[in-house]
Amino acid sequence: MSNATTYHLFINGRWRAGSGGVTLPVTNPATEKVFGSVAAASASDLDDALASAEASRRAWSSRLPKDRGEILVAAARILSTKVGDAAEDLSTEQGKTIAEATGEYARAVETLEWYGTHAEEFSAPIPHGPNRMIVPEPLGVVAAFTPWNYPAVLIARKLAPALAAGCPVILKGAEETPSAAIHIVEVLRQAGIPDGVVNLVFGVPAEISEHLLSSPIVKILTFTGSTAVGKHLAKLAANNLQRCVLELGGHSPVVVCEDADLATAVPAISEYKFECAGQSCNAPSRILVARPLYEEFLSRMTEVARKIKIGPPDDPTTEMGPMANARRIEAMQRLVEGAVDRGARIETGGARVDQPGFYWPPTILTGYPKLPKCFMTSRSGRS
């Protein structure tokens, strides 16, 4: 994958280009240069994915849970041998450091293996009162939508439980970080997943979601992303009463109490805040500090933020790479300018790094009105 420039769809057990011939660019956020393209699925491609998933449903759901689990475990073991190359691809597309990308793939491997190992338990009958049992049954075809910020681990979290339960999946991967979906689907293919059980599509998100969710073949929607998009997808799913599993947004505070050990708290908060350049739903967006600790906390936190080394994600000494795309830079500019206009003060950071790439430094704002005195930015959310 590291030398590939074209990413394809995977439908009914075959890699293929989009039938309409349309592709979308893939950009390296560290250089702002387009280095590849990803196939965009047409309506015909989506119909093929729906048909192949439905055609595989009965056989896959009837397969012994132990057999389904063995395929997931085999896929995990194959993926574990490819983590190095896969992490490089993810770093190139998303901007996270090699260390962060490697750690993410380790979690993806663990996820596939865990669900594979426990597949029999998920389908086991559950006692329910005297002489009664609840027998779990697969619900049907799953439409899974994944974001660009943690594509490998979130793809594994959506595919593994659905497949273990006996549900075929149509996966809509993130167009900006397509390699994660490619790698994970490929190891499932190598592990022996039957044709049609996993289908992978890319393209224009709104067109794909509307087409898939308009089909009664899809029984379940799983989506990780913004609250606004999640609401829209839920409305589409309502037409066919498709069940929804939604992981939306993220606006996490940290509370630093008066008895906190700052020597422990500051590094822990900083790690969560600036991992993946702050582009995580669990990255703190604001910090509420007990007044007696405020000045010392601010001093320590500012010092840590200023020392974080920003640079190319493939440099082993880099601690924070670029943001994933130009939209994130625009969002950061709006956040900082809006805060300053309302009286906030920039303690460190606050402006785009003057070099090629979507680099934004760790930024701390204080004195924001109507909020506690320490309000940190560099939060991404998802878009």
Over residues 136-175, the pLDDT tens digits come to 999 999 999 999 999 999 999 999 999 999 999 999 999 9
**Least confident stretch, 84-98, 180-194, 228-242, 279-293:** 279-293
Angstrom distance (rounded) from CA 186 to CA 94: 20
Query: Which part of the chain has CATH 3.40.309.10?
Result: 252-376
What rounded mean pLDDT belongs to the chain? 93
Helices (H) and strands (E) in the chain, counts: 12, 17
Element (H, E) at 297: helix 294-307
- Digit-coded pLDDT (tens) for 56-91: 999 999 999 999 999 999 999 999 999 999 999 999
Question: Buried (b) or exposed (e) across 80-97, using 16+ Cβ within 10 A?
Answer: bebbeebbbbbbbbbbbb
pTM of the full structure: 0.91
pLDDT at 376: 46
Report, at the CATH architecture level, how domain 6-248 is classified. 3-Layer(aba) Sandwich (3.40)
Angstrom distance (rounded) from CA 63 to CA 54: 15
Model confidence band, residue 370 (pLDDT cutoffs 50, 70, 90): low
Q: Which residue has the higher pLDDT, 265 or 370?
A: 265
Model confidence band, residue 260 (pLDDT cutoffs 50, 70, 90): very high
| The pLDDT of residue 377 is above 90 | no
| The pLDDT of residue 186 is above 70 | yes
| The pLDDT of residue 320 is above 50 | yes
> Maximum CA pair distance of the chain?
71
Model confidence band, residue 33 (pLDDT cutoffs 50, 70, 90): very high
Angular region, 222: left φ>0, alpha ψ -120 to 50, beta rest? beta
Count Cβ atoms within 10 A of the Cβ of residue 156 and give its class: 0-12 exposed, 13-18 middle, 19 or more buried: buried
* Structure-token pair, residue 189: 């293919």
pLDDT at 383: 32
| The pLDDT of residue 8 is above 90 | yes
Backbone angles phi, psi at 7, to 5 degrees: -115, 130
Q: How far apart are the first and last CA of the chain?
A: 26
Query: Which part of the chain has CATH 3.40.605.10?
Result: 6-248
pLDDT at 129: 83
The Cα-based distances of 127 to 61, 136, 139 in angstroms read 22, 11, 20
Count Cβ atoms within 10 A of the Cβ of residue 183 and give its class: 0-12 exposed, 13-18 middle, 19 or more buried: buried
* Catalytic positions, written as ranges: 247, 281
Q: Look up the CATH superfamily of 252-376.
A: Aldehyde Dehydrogenase; Chain A, domain 2 (3.40.309.10)
pLDDT at 131: 85
Angstrom distance (rounded) from CA 75 to CA 192: 8
pLDDT at 3: 52
Half-sphere exposure of 345 (CA within 13 A, CB side): 8
Angstrom distance (rounded) from CA 284 to CA 288: 10
